Structure 1
Amino acid sequence: MGVGSGINVRDLVDQLVAAEREPRENRIARQEQRFEAQISGLGKLKNALSEFGSTLSGLSSAGDFRQVETRVVNEGMVTANARDNAPIGNYEVEVAQLAQSQRLATSADLFSGEEDFDPKTALGAGDVTITLADGTTETFTLSENRSSLENLRDAINDQSANLRASVIDDGNGPRLTLSTTQTGEQNAISRIDVNADGGALLNRLGFNAADLGEDQDTSGGFRQLRAAQDAIVLVDGLQITRPTNELRGVLDGVDLTLNDVGTTRVTVAEQEGTALEAIRGFVEAYNELRGQLNELNAFNPESEESGILNGDSTLRGVQDQMARMISNPVEGMDGTVRALADLGISTQRDGTLAINEFRLNERLSEDREAVVSLFTQADTGIAARMKGVVDQFTGRDSIINSRTKSLEKQMSGLADDRDRLEYRMERIEARYIAQFSAMDAMIAQMNQTSQFLDNQLKALPGNNRK
């Protein structure tokens, strides 16, 4: 191209196509930047609301506004852990007996008459059924070629959740020991029944707890080394029996662990300042949220720079609803505490909150329960209704999610716009090339005609002068 006219047609076409493309491409780029900024801004808004929602979740119950601590005179005897709902009080705790598990061992002379008896000696095939005091039964089956003390030990340890077995040599030969994994009389072994051939050594492993007494610690093939027993504790004179040393429900809201017998005192006291710290935490979290909302909606008239959600309807909706939830009284509240303003919490010009510590402490001293109810009252309390606003804007089908999906769909549409623009530019380029090619060919033809005419004129008789 350009041979006939001498014009650089390729360069000219590229410039014309670029001139056509630039305004349309810039418009798409501006739309893309706007969509990306809005998506980013909505993401920041959602994250800020979600973080604030996490704070609100920790202010929904009265227990969130109090912490209790326990003091035990002798922690080597009893340890105590109080939950937030534990009432304050002092208790005398006497541990009369600790719970313990049961331990049995085969009698020292059970297999003494058997020559070369060891842990691998076959006892004979059969079933060993162990019954606990609560009626639980477990049966362990031994085959002819796997019927030693060690095989029975392994079967028990592999299959039982209630028992642990071991084989030890005390110098008089191997002995099988059985221990219950849980403390308490209800978890003790009450019977061991064996079903084997008449002459099998396995039959010697029977046991019946009913045979035991003060002067009798053996039954069948076993000796009781340690009897199972329940914990016995007296709290302010009231006797309580439990199968474990971990006691719950003995003291309201307090878990006890018994470590040794004896008498001690347990004190449950409320930590001071917990409610004040909880309210401070709420105000700090709200101010953090409000600061982020203000940043997203900011506008600097001097530099004419604005936040990425300046003027956005969703952001404005969040700000308006949060402001109402902060300032409106709580329904159902009577007396002198009905709104945050009654606690000395006021709204500043930028929407953040400020605390009058003297007023707040005064309200907590006068009517702590009302202050806590202001935040924790079901459905209408500060925490509940603000959590409702958070969920409205951040939930699965929330306004923010819907808008984000819409913007993402519009972003996808811009890719189609770019494809259409590219197709349009290809057609314009082809048209320009066709037009300039035709022009170039015409100019070339005209140059040829001009040269021909010039040659003809030069050949006329009047032009052949010497």
Structure 2
Amino acid sequence: MADYSFGYGGIGSGLDISTIVNQLVAADRAPQNKRLNTLESGTKFKLSGVGSVSSAFNALKTALDGLQKVDALGARTVSSTMLSLGNGAPVTGTADAVLTPTAGRNTPVGSYQVDVHALATAHKLLGAGNAVGTTFGVGTLRVAIGGDSIDVAVKAGATLADIRGAINDAAGKYGLQAAVLTSDAGQHLSLGSAKTGAANAISIAVVEGGADLQALVEGLAEQSPAADARVSIDGLLTTSATNTITDAVPGMSLALRQTGVSRVEVKTDPAGSRAAVDGFVKAYNAALKAIGSATSYNAETKTPSSLTGDAQMRGAASQLRNVMNDLLGGLAEQGLDAKTLGLQTQGFPNPDGSLVLDAGKFNEAMAANPAKVIAALTDESGLAAKLNDVVKNYVGPDGAFTLRDKGLNAQLKDIGRQREALDTRMDAAAKRYRTQFVALDSLMAQMTSTSTALAQQLAALSAQTSNR
């Protein structure tokens, strides 16, 4: 509260004018301030309730959006069994030494025989031995890898290490790696591709230079070819520049390790698919609980919650329950009742409309008829889509809860403006009271002065009379 003291005491009256003005203004402010405080606290209380329910509905919408995705219930498990090794070695142990498979959601379920004929390899060239300290004359080498060709300048007196450095500086960014290896035969120039596959072959030629550079290039022999991986999946041949096959079976990836034959099994994963439904059930129950908490009434303490008796909240809870009951009825008509699918509303002893999912029954339904369950829950006309249409009426830019939140915040801003107006009125009242009390003080000072003068005159008259 503002302090309206102005450092002026009642000189003529002896009154503490500042204190009196503050008390009068406080008395004037009290009823208006109480009204605004009550209105503000009530608005904030409602705003917190609407916010908690809105948050729960947004979480429900997120869960429903996830359930509507085409791969929401498409979780898969994948395993592989090694049948034979390409080198003829006996198969031992349970680990698959031929390949490692992974499967994404909605990978076609089935058994696939994978025959790895050859692995992808990186091209590598290795030169003949040169005596340590050998130098080369000036010239130009042209190296190529894949579709890229680069000229490399060789300075007069360059050593094998200098040539290696020049090649790496010019062609390293294209994936060409040069090195100098040492053996009993001397130093050897090694050129290798950082990438596997036939498309990444290396070549080198002398553009300019003498016989020494020509001998260096002609002495390079292939150590490892530039080759693609070759794999047959159920008899269909596919090639890859790398040892990872990703486009043969939708959603499945095969990391190749060595030649041989393996059988890959892709199965539905009911537990993995159930995660999306579990998330929806939890979010749905949380939305109902949020409304219940915001509208509850404590009979013992006679304390209402932020939205006790709120018609909008009662309507939202009722709509959720009614729509869900209709949707569960629709599932039952499709043969996916509570006994089959495992999804139902809470019964005795707490029939509050919340949902319960029996994991075992759901897993059995997914294993027995996954296409039917997926369609019933995730299709455009399925449970998730229909319930989501209801939830969208409450959240989002034009949702009922969103608009109400905006209205309550606007009300708080209006209360702030009323407080500013009240402060302005109280400042004016304080000025008015100060003016009046200062005038009163001045008048009382004049009256005191007059009284003193009269008293002095009367005393003088009395003294004159006594002397006679």
Give the TM-score normalised by structure 1.
0.79
Unaligned runs of 5+ in 1: 207-219
Structure 2 equivalent of residue 94 of structure 1: 115
Structure 2 equivalent of residue 53 of structure 1: 61
| 2:288 alignment partner AA | R
| 1:65 alignment partner AA | L
Structure 2 equivalent of residue 421 of structure 1: 422
Give the 3-state SS of the residue equivalent to 2:196 in structure 1.
Answer: coil
Q: Any residues of structure 2 matched to 1:407-446 within 5 Å, and which?
A: 407-446=408-447
Percent identity, please. 28
Structure 2 equivalent of residue 172 of structure 1: 185
Structure 2 equivalent of residue 149 of structure 1: 163
Tell me the CA shift for residue 193 of structure 1.
3.4
CA contact (8 A) 1:327 1:341 kept: no
Deviates more, 1:136-145 or 1:96-105: 136-145
Instruction: Say if 2:133 is the partner of 1:116.
Output: yes
Give the 3-state SS of the residue equivalent to 1:65 in structure 2.
Answer: coil
Structure 2 equivalent of residue 373 of structure 1: 375
Tell me the CA shift for residue 103 of structure 1.
0.8
Unaligned runs of 5+ in 2: 1-8, 83-95
Within 2, Cα distance between the matches of 1:284 and 1:230? 49
CA contact (8 A) 1:42 1:404 kept: yes
| 2:427 alignment partner AA | E
Within 2, Cα distance between the matches of 1:159 and 1:275? 44
Give the TM-score normalised by structure 2.
0.79
Within 2, Cα distance between the matches of 1:200 and 1:312? 96
Within 2, Cα distance between the matches of 1:70 and 1:360? 21
| 2:133 alignment partner AA | D
CA contact (8 A) 1:124 1:144 kept: yes
| 1:260 alignment partner AA | Q
Within 1, Cα distance between the matches of 2:154 and 2:417? 76
Q: Deviations over 1:237-276 (max 9, x none)?
A: 4444333221123345432122122233222233355555
Tell me the CA shift for residue 333 of structure 1.
7.9
Within 1, Cα distance between the matches of 2:368 and 2:156? 80
Tell me the CA shift for residue 155 of structure 1.
1.8
Structure 1 equivalent of residue 102 of structure 2: 81
Within 2, Cα distance between the matches of 1:457 and 1:23? 52
Q: Deviations over 1:209-248 (max 9, x none)?
A: xxxxxxxxxxx34100111223233334444433322112
- 1:413/1:87 Cα in 2 relative to 1: closer, same or farther (>3 Å)? same
Structure 2 equivalent of residue 382 of structure 1: 383
Within 1, Cα distance between the matches of 2:74 and 2:340? 21
Structure 1 equivalent of residue 206 of structure 2: 194
Instruction: Say if 2:118 is the partner of 1:106.
Output: no
- 1:249/1:463 Cα in 2 relative to 1: closer, same or farther (>3 Å)? same
Give the 3-state SS of the residue equivalent to 1:64 in structure 2.
Answer: coil
Within 1, Cα distance between the matches of 2:231 and 2:419? 81
CA contact (8 A) 1:73 1:265 kept: yes
- 1:48/1:335 Cα in 2 relative to 1: closer, same or farther (>3 Å)? closer
Q: Deviations over 1:404-423 (max 9, x none)?
A: 44544443444443333222
CA contact (8 A) 1:131 1:192 kept: no
Structure 1 equivalent of residue 149 of structure 2: 138
Structure 1 equivalent of residue 354 of structure 2: 352
Give the 3-state SS of the residue equivalent to 2:107 in structure 1.
Answer: coil
CA contact (8 A) 2:137 2:156 kept: no
- 1:49/1:163 Cα in 2 relative to 1: closer, same or farther (>3 Å)? farther
Within 2, Cα distance between the matches of 1:307 and 1:205? 89
- 1:430/1:240 Cα in 2 relative to 1: closer, same or farther (>3 Å)? closer
CA contact (8 A) 1:73 1:266 kept: yes
Structure 1 equivalent of residue 10 of structure 2: 2
Tell me the CA shift for residue 428 of structure 1.
1.0
Instruction: Say if 2:317 is the partner of 1:319.
Output: yes
Instruction: Say if 2:76 is the partner of 1:64.
Output: no
CA contact (8 A) 1:296 1:310 kept: yes
Within 1, Cα distance between the matches of 2:200 and 2:46? 65
Structure 1 equivalent of residue 233 of structure 2: 235
Within 2, Cα distance between the matches of 1:365 and 1:235? 26
Structure 1 equivalent of residue 45 of structure 2: 37
Within 1, Cα distance between the matches of 2:15 and 2:339? 80
Structure 2 equivalent of residue 214 of structure 1: none
Q: Deviations over 1:36-84 (max 9, x none)?
A: 3344334333332332233223322464324322222231122111223
- 1:362/1:176 Cα in 2 relative to 1: closer, same or farther (>3 Å)? closer
Structure 2 equivalent of residue 217 of structure 1: none
- 1:393/1:169 Cα in 2 relative to 1: closer, same or farther (>3 Å)? farther
Deviates more, 1:48-57 or 1:288-297: 48-57
CA contact (8 A) 1:328 1:339 kept: no
Within 2, Cα distance between the matches of 1:239 and 1:298? 67
Instruction: Say if 2:31 is the partner of 1:23.
Output: yes
Q: Deviations over 1:162-195 (max 9, x none)?
A: 3222222223333221222222223223x32332
Within 2, Cα distance between the matches of 1:275 and 1:312? 38
CA contact (8 A) 2:76 2:107 kept: yes
Root-mean-square deviation (CA, aligned residues, Å) is 3.7
CA contact (8 A) 1:192 1:205 kept: no
CA contact (8 A) 1:298 1:310 kept: yes
CA contact (8 A) 2:274 2:363 kept: yes
| 2:324 alignment partner AA | I
